[in-house]
Chain A
């Protein structure tokens, strides 16, 4: 892959995303208040208990806060941009660019994600910190590992969303499919409720899917709930899921582009 081109697209995506300032602020406000509502529910869940399944109240609140801050970085509600280009035909120009579709969108997505993280995520955590105690990773190494895990989480999320969007090559109803698919990622990634609070049987089902690798893993690393060998294993699982989903994307893309070309769009 041509890295210079990649960074060029990335830079454009960053600039593009910073122009949506009103939307960024509006999203920040909404995510923040929903964070407060959810924190109240979590607090009520804990009432007298100090911890549930190894997760303290403070940890769970932090989990919720970071979840709200990551909505726009990990696009936890899904994204529909690629299928839009299929439906409005502008994908044709993307297909003739000297850059694979996958890396093109990877760069675009990362640019937008970075801006969202810095302008929405960080600000949200700051404001949230005024209302609730948000735990921070104790050591510098934890920060690094968290960053690495969240980055892997973003990659998994990207590949998943890309895969879902590719269905638009076959059906005019990709939006509906997407809506359905992104429900699973929300529920099973631990975004709605930390996976540790679910009954064990359900948490085990979640861990059979790629979705915890999007969000729950990063949070466990952040909170120091996984350590040592288990931590490396978690990061490894994230990487494996990304590789698997990316592989599926490439296979599907090859078939899809062939179909698109044959049908003439």
Chain B
């Protein structure tokens, strides 16, 4: 295990070194991706200047929802770069997975180490800025439990969305092409999570509660942090389901991944 981790770190340092070869374009990329995502928040902000609130959530409260999920998604997108379905499907098509299988190192560690897109810090930074704005305007009533639970929630978000990336990548064992429809739950999931769940139609909310339990990742924890009542009448422990739901997603995905990999080894695509 220690050997695997130290090798993973070496793989990552290689990635970082080759990305820093083109320093100017790197920083331009960081800046523009940050700006792109920020513009989405700005457009919501501007509309709220006219309208006041969305489903009873003020701009600062929305900023909390948005900022938290953006920081987590950016972090996930960086750590799980190798499992980005776009990246991984190309990886398979180029036959790079064969090289991975020929090395005496854990396969997952190698895929995690095969890409680490550092320029995602642009997205993370803008998320952090918005989150900072939220904290500055909200006056959250912090308790020790809240302070302890915040990092747990964000780690759960990273794990849950990473699981979806992995699931999307696993599909390319069959298709060899990227499965674009997975974007609906990955990028779409982030979009959905950045607003209060009550605004979505029942069926969509059901989908993101029971099939892909994203409502427990952001909305319910936010209710807890901001001491807002739950209009949907879920049990009181709902805000604390995030780590459980994320663990479950990761577990199921890993099983699926293993199944996909064994399928790859029997079809020789």
Is B195 touching A41 in the complex (CB atoms < 8 A)? yes
**Count of chain A residues near B, Cβ 8 A:** 34
30 A-B residue pairs with Cβ-Cβ distance under 8 Å, sorted by A, are A23-B180, A26-B181, A29-B184, A30-B180, A30-B181, A30-B188, A34-B191, A36-B201, A36-B204, A40-B204, A41-B54, A41-B199, A44-B54, A44-B196, A44-B199, A52-B51, A175-B25, A179-B32, A179-B33, A180-B32, A183-B35, A183-B36, A187-B39, A187-B43, A192-B43, A193-B44, A193-B47, A198-B50, A199-B50, A202-B46
Q: Give A187 to B201 CA distance when docked, in angstroms.
A: 26
Kindly name the residue among B31, B33, B184, B188 whose own CB sees the greatest number of chain A CB atoms within 10 A: B184
Does B55 count as interface, using CB distance less than 8 angstroms? yes
Q: Give A214 to B77 CA distance when docked, in angstroms.
A: 32
CB-nearest residue of chain A relative to B48?
Answer: A45
The minimal Cβ–Cβ distance linking A100 to chain B, given in whole angstroms, is 30
**B35 / chain A contacts, CB cutoff of 8 Å:** 180, 183
CB-nearest residue of chain A relative to B180?
Answer: A26
Does B210 count as interface, using CB distance less than 8 angstroms? no
Q: Give A177 to B44 CA distance when docked, in angstroms.
A: 24
The minimal Cβ–Cβ distance linking A30 to chain B, given in whole angstroms, is 5
CB-nearest residue of chain A relative to B30?
Answer: A176
- Chain B positions near chain A (C-beta within 8 angstroms): 24-25, 28-29, 31-33, 35-36, 39-40, 42-44, 46-47, 49-51, 54-55, 177, 179-181, 183-184, 188, 191-192, 195-196, 199-201, 204
CB-nearest residue of chain A relative to B197?
Answer: A40
Task: Say whether chain A's binding surface is mostly helix, strand, loop, or mixed.
Answer: helix
CB-nearest residue of chain B relative to A32?
Answer: B184
The minimal Cβ–Cβ distance linking B129 to chain A, given in whole angstroms, is 16
Q: Give A172 to B28 CA distance when docked, in angstroms.
A: 12
Q: Give A198 to B42 CA distance when docked, in angstroms.
A: 11
Does A7 count as interface, using CB distance less than 8 angstroms? no
Is A173 touching B25 in the complex (CB atoms < 8 A)? yes
Does A43 count as interface, using CB distance less than 8 angstroms? yes
- Chain A positions near chain B (C-beta within 8 angstroms): 22-23, 26-27, 29-30, 33-34, 36-37, 40-41, 43-45, 47, 52-53, 172-173, 175-177, 179-180, 183, 186-187, 192-193, 197-199, 202
**B36 / chain A contacts, CB cutoff of 8 Å:** 179-180, 183
Is A198 touching B188 in the complex (CB atoms < 8 A)? no
Task: Say whether chain B's binding surface is mostly helix, strand, loop, or mixed.
Answer: helix
**A202 / chain B contacts, CB cutoff of 8 Å:** 46
CB-nearest residue of chain B relative to A200?
Answer: B50
Is A44 touching B46 in the complex (CB atoms < 8 A)? no
Contact status of A179 and B184, CB under 8 A, knowing A40-B204, A198-B50: no
Q: Give A52 to B50 CA distance when docked, in angstroms.
A: 9
The minimal Cβ–Cβ distance linking A140 to chain B, given in whole angstroms, is 34
**B39 / chain A contacts, CB cutoff of 8 Å:** 183, 186-187, 192
CB-nearest residue of chain B relative to A172?
Answer: B25
Is B43 touching A40 in the complex (CB atoms < 8 A)? no
CB-nearest residue of chain A relative to B192?
Answer: A37
Q: Which of B28, B32, B188 contacts A37 (CB 8 A)?
A: B188
Is B47 touching A43 in the complex (CB atoms < 8 A)? no
**B183 / chain A contacts, CB cutoff of 8 Å:** 30
Kindly name the residue among A176, A186, A198 whose own CB sees the greatest number of chain B CB atoms within 10 A: A176
Is B42 touching A187 in the complex (CB atoms < 8 A)? yes
**B195 / chain A contacts, CB cutoff of 8 Å:** 40-41, 44
Other than A33-B188, A40-B195, A179-B36, give 16 A-B pairs with Cβ distance below 8 A: A22-B177, A27-B180, A30-B180, A30-B183, A30-B184, A34-B188, A34-B191, A37-B188, A40-B199, A40-B201, A45-B54, A47-B55, A187-B43, A197-B47, A198-B50, A199-B46
CB-nearest residue of chain B relative to A193?
Answer: B43
**B43 / chain A contacts, CB cutoff of 8 Å:** 187, 192-193, 198
| Smallest CB-CB A-B distances: 7 pairs | A26-B180, A44-B199, A176-B28, A180-B32, A179-B32, A33-B184, A192-B43
